[in-house]
Amino acid sequence: MRSVNYQPNNKVSLLESGVELFPALLAEMDAAQHEIHFETYIFADDDTGKAVEQALIAAGRRGVKVRVVIDWFGSGNTQCRRLKAAFAEAGVFCRIFNPWFKKGVTRTHRKITVIDRKVAFVGGINVNDDYLCDYDPHKRLPAPRWDFAVRVVGPLVADIHREAQAQWARVGHMGILRRLDLFREMKRDGPVAGSGPMQAGFVVRDNLRNRRTIQRAYLQAIGRARHSILMANPYFAPGRKFREALGRAAERGVKVTLLIGVGEFKLQDMVAHSFYPKLLGCGVTVVEYQKTQLHAKVAVIDEDWATVGSSNCDGLSLFLNQEANVVVRDAGFARSMRAHIEAGVAEGVIIPCDHFKHVGRFKRAGYEAAYFFYKLVMRIVAIGYA
């Protein structure tokens, strides 16, 4: 399995939810002098979305080259059309990813921003209000949505920038001359000086050369774990290899804790519940987060491995959609990430080991039927899920 390509000398700062991400992001956009690459799944028409929209428009009007990629399904046709028109008027270039499913069911679920090739933001946070539900913008959450992103400065920014440029080329309809110009622009990416203490890698999942990259990064880290695995994920429905890797880690004495979001989609909850008996039987601790919408896709393994990104641990993220994660090898960053996840675990509900002894036969059958249906759909739309 191909290893993560780590770059040394980075400074990676953890940002919790939109309350920390958007002030930092808007400040960097306001200071941009040359170029902004911006990609998101949801670009909502709320106060948060309008603030980001106005920052991108202001940058375009002062001569910054701004390229925006928005997912059509995540943001909606009406919003995509409105944004594209508003951006065009300000000289901002905007492309819509896979409108009307013309190129199949794949979505871009990534959240990436690169500014002046000097600073990048990567994570799971969409452009929407922390208090408004992702799938129902009229539903107010009981507490801010729980999610994370990172701000990156250092050599890793060049890797993120190259991927942002490549995505821009893939999404658009560019002639040969324009593609050659973009290729020359990508080749101008030189090494970015860094003075940070961290080794970090950028891993993406697509349906070309990087079909299993994010899952491999997880599996390698899980396979090498010696002490602890702490994961938070809203939609837990990975394939058999991933689940078995977690079970084997627990059986060899690694403390494995899964913090799982529940309460959004009943079918998703039922699929996750179908995995609980085997996971609990192997010694995995399963905790359900019910305080608010859990949207974080983060993990810490042992003392110095951590990841933050857009990839859920389910079939859609691991085998179908385009995703992006940052992996950090640094003890200080891992401690910070661990503290956040442990705080989430403290607010969750631990599933007892004997929980399923009290679950009725018909309910268990419902869980198994939900998983069978989910697996069937994933095998049709996402090659590789098992």
Indicate which residue of 46, 189, 302, 304 is catalytic.
302
Which residue among the candidates 11, 37, 71, 111 is catalytic per the annotation?
111
Structural contact between residues 282 and 313, judged by C-beta atoms closer than 8 angstroms: no
One-letter amino acid identity for 30?
D
Rounded CA-CA distance 142/201 in Å is 35
Q: Are 347 and 259 in contact (CB under 8 A)?
A: no
Asked about 109 being catalytic, the answer comes back as: yes
Identify whether 116 is a catalytic site residue: yes
Task: Report which of 326, 358, 381, 378 is spatially closest to residue 110, judged by C-alpha positions.
Answer: 326
Q: Two tokens at 45?
A: 């028409």
Q: Going by DSSP bridges, is the β-strand pair 148-153/198-205 parallel, antiparallel, or unpaired?
A: unpaired
Cα–Cα distance for residue pair 60/82, rounded to 1 Å: 17
* Candidates 37, 295, 340, 375; catalytic one: 295
Task: Give the SS3 label for residue 37.
Answer: strand
269 in active site: no
Which run of H or E residues covers position 130?
Answer: none
Among 37, 109, 340, 375, the one annotated catalytic: 109
Give the Cβ contact number of residue 43 at 10 Å: 28
Q: What one-character DSSP code corresponds to residue 101?
A: G
DSSP for residue 100: G
Q: Tell me, what DSSP letter sits at residue 66?
A: E
**Strand, coil or helix: 62:** coil
Please identify which of the residues 11, 297, 340, 375 carries the catalytic annotation: 297
From the list 377, 137, 131, 145, the residue with the least C-alpha distance to 261 is 145
The two three-digit tokens of residue 247, written as one number: 């079970």
Q: Is position 302 annotated as part of the catalytic site?
A: yes
What single-letter DSSP state applies at residue 131? T
- Give which of 144, 82, 79, 150 is closest to 111, Cα–Cα: 150
Give Cβ neighbours of residue 324 (< 8 Å, ≥ 6 apart).
110, 111, 112, 122, 163, 202, 203, 204, 205, 309, 310, 311
Give me the sign of the Cα torsion angle 132, 136, 140, 141: negative
Catalytic residue, candidates 45, 116, 189, 304 = 116
Clarify whether 295 is annotated catalytic: yes
Annotated catalytic residues are: 109, 111, 116, 295, 297, 302
